[in-house]
Amino acid sequence: MKRSSWILVLFFCACVMSCSNNDDNNPTPTINPDAPTTGTWRVTLFTDSGKDETSDFSGYTFTFDSNGTAVATKSGTSKNGSWSASSSSKKFNLNFGVKSDANKPLGELTDDWEIISLSATEIKLKDDNDDSGEYLTFNQN
């Protein structure tokens, strides 16, 4: 009887030790790098250093073509840029030109963003520098 108890204890220990450590605090992001190429998009969140600056993008619509071209349009005026997304590196690169007063607000979007999630209806990004407090969310129109 003692021997079967030890076997049971060893079996239990082996089961416990073989369990994976699943960290639910850092879920794997949903990434579909082709999703942005359908329809038009709008900025529904933009924070910089924790300050909500979403209203700076009011009236803008964005398109992301499959050839890597991004276009921001407001009141009939368009600004060309570029974009790319990688599911392997979890990066969303966006370029609307330099960050300067003359290029506000679109230059603020130029960055190598880290993908939080990327689906057919929503793109959630954060700056790859955690200290910046920059977050960007696009939703499909």
In a domain, 78, yes or no: yes
Cα(40)–Cα(78) distance, integer angstroms: 13
In a domain, 8, yes or no: no
In a domain, 3, yes or no: no
CATH number at residue 71: 2.40.128.270
> In which domain, by residue range, is 77 found?
31-140
In a domain, 45, yes or no: yes
In a domain, 122, yes or no: yes
Rounded to two decimals, the pTM is 0.76
Per-residue pLDDT of the chain (141 residues; tens, 9 = 90+): 555 444 444 444 444 444 444 444 555 556 666 778 889 999 999 999 989 999 999 999 999 999 999 999 999 999 999 999 988 889 999 999 998 887 899 999 999 999 999 988 999 999 988 888 899 999 999
Closest CA relative to residue 46, chosen from 120, 111, 118: 111
Number of domains composing the chain: 1
